[in-house]
Structure 1
């Protein structure tokens, strides 16, 4: 009768000593097979033993072993011949990568070594026992190892039995007695007993007992990694360290809270960037973690971060190779300031590179503020929420002509800040490249510094002042070599520019990038001089629901919106629109024309519902009720006086249309806001100084 085959004793030690599969193909017993759920690609952790030691091997995507596992050929207690394998070092750790195994059968029950007698192989290259992989070759003066693998040694971390303990490699040959009540087999997660822990966490002597490739135990930095107190350097974090790691880092940026909705309901998130001596990484907080940590995390302070997830970065939205995410179970502790941890660092790119940069890319910029608009308040069409934004003109000495301008859009509370001053240098961290109407600009910087105390800012300001003396920038700032979509203009300059508007495209006609633009956008500061009072500035609209043209996810029902077409009354409580919808009561919406003028010319503008409500201060239905009631003439006049002779900052959309067989330019108001007198006075003073400087230079 043929002898029964058993695992090759000493095989794991020889594998980690560097033997190749060409000269050594040992027999190993499979003790557990587990899919790694947190990985984006299919990976498996396979626990194998040689009868003395047990180690977890990784089955990589695309390998033959993956196919064998999913076909059911690799099973617990299977005897396999390791045909293709490799030991790879990652962050100072040596890991076994198993690519293909030849299944020989099942290990007989009488040849199976009980789990409690197996020792976990120490796979740290820098550990004392790493080269041989045999704990029995450790310092003979150390206390003996007491293995403690329970029945659940290879289940999930929550269900795993007590982990084995490793001896503390201290100079003293005698073993220390554990404290009362302490685990005699080791501290938490397989570390030394609590009584043996050195101050500040694991020391250099623990380098041979660090976590495995699959993050099942806390990661302790390798010797010389530059971290102390058991903290993992940021540059060494990866999706394979999804275990109990700890980071000590400084918060360098902190975003506002962003709320969203999807098929699973409402949600919220915010982002931070953190840095240590080795690098930076972004972290996102979701759900209840936003409520727990947003009030406590402060930019510039140092924290200890743990119990988060690591995933690969999305290059469209993130910088770097990896990002972090934190849920409500995360642990974040404030720490004393550490001067070795850097603050905000920049990787500046010139403004002339913005048009060639992909949309949603995050870039750092150093520039001069050459134009500041007033904040705009408006209602978002998608979320129906009140939003605030401000547009700021930026300049730097880049590009073929040595001068380039780009618009920066600032949102929310940052838009209301008073530190945007024309003529001041500004540093932007992680500004996002966005595109609107075929023009690219910047939006939503994670952090910015106005008038930074930095030699680069001083040099940039000197270049800007020289530019203003020799070739002063006009107040109607141009964006690169294109139109001035974000600059304030006079009425006359708008009319002159709109002479070059192209005709609107025909139905089904594609966009011609080489042709004239069909839409211009302008910022105009003017005074409302006329509001027609002989006709109702609103109309009865249809409240019926129709499918929205907005794109939806595959398989998702189309969104609905109000029809909004004009309805006519056909009888008491009977109104009908051109689409055939019938309703009992229409919804009034504003649609009115106004005259606006400045010191150069006047123009007629079309004002729609959202903006007109800001002008008149009442809903269109209330205005219609007052208009139809002769006894309310005084109240109606009061509403009109709210608008007449009011100075406003308008964002206009200009396009050509054909009316009665003649072409004309139509101006629609997208946004409107009042004028802050003090801010406007400073802007006018800057214009005067710029004009005087230009005159003196001439």
Structure 2
């Protein structure tokens, strides 16, 4: 390869270099930083530092395949390139992770920063007429080292939620959930998903939700070796404040199992020596929306009239602590659903003793019941309907959904079912509530959900009121 130092002045123009290809022809190589949408012909020499799975899509303009790659040049500048339909079919097997290529005849446009996984004002699209040539002879001399990542510690994820940024995470797999599906709101299509719990040296855990092909392919591979506590590397994950903090894969996410990189080796050594027996906590437990019971019940304290304002919860869920009473529970509501004992997904009842689980794809002769309870809360400022799911409803009622179902079926003069329901009412409690806006049939609605329930600590309440009086 001709070095820049031996090139003539005519060969070095505004950061461009003329480099021979393996075919013996010369190409003027441009740095990624110099590219813009108004530029004519250009060629870049880049290493593939990330590659997403091949995915299928359907929209009003048709259907086909699509995938993304992240390309990095010798200056360390990155750009995301996307290939649709014919281009995806043509280049998916050609573009391989960690290899070096000459790429030309692509187009650029302004990047959608909401979905971009690299820092660049532009993003690239390659079509079926684009040219991709592997730089076999130059891979070893390419300045950029083999793929590098900037991993975010699980304990630090909460710091970046508001920034709406994508993150790279490396963790030991603690558990792999079953493959389930959710229905897309727009067309009711079923979308595969699978939850994976990760742990790292910060001794905190986080739930990573894998979607679509990643849930089916890489998720299945993880499930097969989950007992071995594999190392999972995931690049380009979306952060969410669900349960305080959580992660989700996107169509641009790259997932590698047991990668051969120094960081993974260090994580494995820590896990084998200390991590297996070390205590851990969920990363979101101390954040808004988390489930840490030790959180001060005065954090985000509000009254019901403040929560039920129409604009509360628009954009993203907000969380409050409310001291209130349950004033009413509908006695005739569907307070539970029949659930799979493995994945908690709703079962299809085939007969009185046979059930089918779509998530586990198997029949079962047993089931459990899980709460989906509606209740009305009341405080001095007003009232509000809230939803309480299994753990929270069980805490309120003091009995499991299975036991309450049995009480309901045996209702007689001594109606234990009604007694259990009435017992949950008019008890002072502090509720951790999330408020979110949903849309149904074109109409926006506010949804209030109970996240945690704790008894009222009257000593602490008194001290809090006294402190407020002193400040006043």
In the superposition, relative to structure 1, how do residues 327 and 508 fare at CA in structure 2: closer, same or farther (>3 Å)? same
The Cα offsets for residues 646-684 of structure 1, whole Å up to 9 and x where unpaired, read as 469x9x78554259x99994559xxxxxxxxxxxxxxxx
SS of residue in 2 equivalent to 1:513: strand
Counterpart residue number, 1:164: none
DSSP 3-state at the match of 2:226? coil
TM-superposed CA distance for 1:440, in Å, is 4.0
Judging changes above 3 Å, is the alpha-carbon distance between structure 1 residues 298 and 443 closer, same or farther for their aligned structure 2 residues?
same
Looking at structure 2, the residues matched to 409 and 647 of structure 1 have their Cα atoms a distance apart, in angstroms, of 25
CA distance in 1, matches of 2:277, 2:173: 18
Please show how residues 482-561 of structure 1 align to structure 2 within 5 Å: 506=308, 508=310, 510-511=312-313, 513-515=319-321
1:208 aligns with 2:31: no
State which structure, 1 or 2, has the greater radius of gyration over its C-alpha atoms. 1
Question: Structure 1: which 5+ runs fail to align?
Answer: 1-198, 214-218, 487-501, 519-590, 600-604, 618-635, 669-698
Give yes or no for the alignment of 1:463 onto 2:244.
no
Structure holding more strand per residue: 2
Structure 1: how far apart are the matches of 2:44 and 2:201? 39
Equivalent in 140, 147, 150 of residue 344 of structure 1: 147
What residue number does 1:221 align with?
A: 17
Secondary structure, in 3 states, of the residue corresponding to 2:66? strand
Q: Report the equivalent of 1:284.
A: 82
CA contact (8 A) 2:337 2:371 kept: no
The RMSD of aligned alpha carbons is 4.8
Is 2:49–2:70's contact at 8 Å kept on the other side of the alignment?
yes
Please tell me whether residue 396 in structure 1 is matched to residue 396 in structure 2.
no
Distance 2:335 2:149 in 1: 49
* 3-state SS in 2 of match to 1:514: strand
The 1:437/1:264 distance shift into structure 2, 3 A limit, reads farther
Aligned to 1:248: 45
CA contact (8 A) 1:388 1:415 kept: no
Correspondences of 1:8-23 after superposition (within 5 Å): none
Deviation by residue 1:563-588 (Cα, 9 ceiling, x = unmatched): xxxxxxxxxxxxxxxxxxxxxxxxxx
Q: Which of 296, 302, 305 is the equivalent residue of 2:103?
A: 305
Aligned residues between the structures: 335
Find the aligned partners of 1:643 and 1:517 in 2 and give their Cα distance.
44
Conserved? CA contact 1:377–1:387, under 8 Å: yes
Shift of residue 292 of structure 1?
2.8
Bigger relative contact order, structure 1 or 2, given CA contacts below 8 A and separation 6+? 2
Q: Which residue of 1 aligns with 2:259?
A: 452
Compared CA separation, residues 472 and 243, structure 1 to 2 (3 A): same
**SS across alignment from 1:239:** coil
Aligned 1:137-536 pairs, distance under 5 A: 207-208=9-10, 220-221=16-17, 229-230=26-27, 232=29, 234-239=31-36, 242-258=39-55, 269-279=66-76, 280-318=78-116, 319-321=118-120, 322-336=122-136, 338-341=139-142, 342-357=145-160, 358=162, 360-398=164-202, 403-411=203-211, 412=213, 413-418=217-222, 421=226, 423-436=229-242, 439-444=245-250, 446-465=253-272, 467-468=274-275, 471-473=278-280, 479-481=284-286, 506=308, 508=310, 510-511=312-313, 513-515=319-321
Contact 1:376 1:389 in 2 (8 A): yes
- Check conservation: 1:408, 1:441, Cα contact below 8 A: yes
2: CA distance, partners of 1:311 / 1:515: 46
In the TM superposition, what whole-angstrom CA distance separates every residue of 1:379-401 from its partner, at most 9, and x where no partner exists? 43334333322211122234xxx
How is 1:101-120 mapped onto 2 (pairs within 5 angstroms)?
none
TM-score, normalised with respect to structure 1: 0.40
CA distance in 2, matches of 1:277, 1:373: 40
**1:253-300 CA-partner distances (Å, limit 9, x unpaired):** 221345556676657532111234332332112343223323443334
Compute the displacement of 1:308 (Å): 0.8
CA contact (8 A) 1:233 1:276 kept: no
CA contact (8 A) 1:275 1:343 kept: no
Are 1:657 and 2:366 matched, yes or no? no
Q: What is the rounded CA distance, in whole Å, between the counterparts of 2:244 and 2:323 in structure 1?
A: 10
Name the SS for the 2:268 alignment partner: helix
Once the two structures are TM-superposed, the CA of residue 407 in structure 1 deviates from its matched residue by: 1.6
Deviations 1:339-380 (Å, cap 9, x if unpaired)?
234432111222223222146522222322233222223443
Distance 2:355 2:59 in 1: 42
Q: Confirm or deny: 8 A CA contact 1:359 1:433 kept in the other structure.
A: no
Alpha carbons 1:372, 1:420 under 8 Å: kept: no
Q: Deviations over 1:292-322 (max 9, x none)?
A: 3234433343332110123444433321224
Deviation at 1:453, TM superposition (A): 3.4
- Where does 1:539-618 land on structure 2 (aligned, <5 Å)? 594=337, 611-612=346-347, 615-616=348-349
* Cα separation, partners in 2 of 1:375 and 1:343, compared to 1, 3 Å: farther
Structure 2 gaps of 5+ residues are 20-24, 292-302, 325-333, 357-361, 378-382, 392-472
Alpha-carbon distance change, 258 to 638 in structure 1, aligned in 2, over 3 angstroms: same
Distance between the aligned counterparts of 1:364 and 1:510, measured in 2?
A: 32
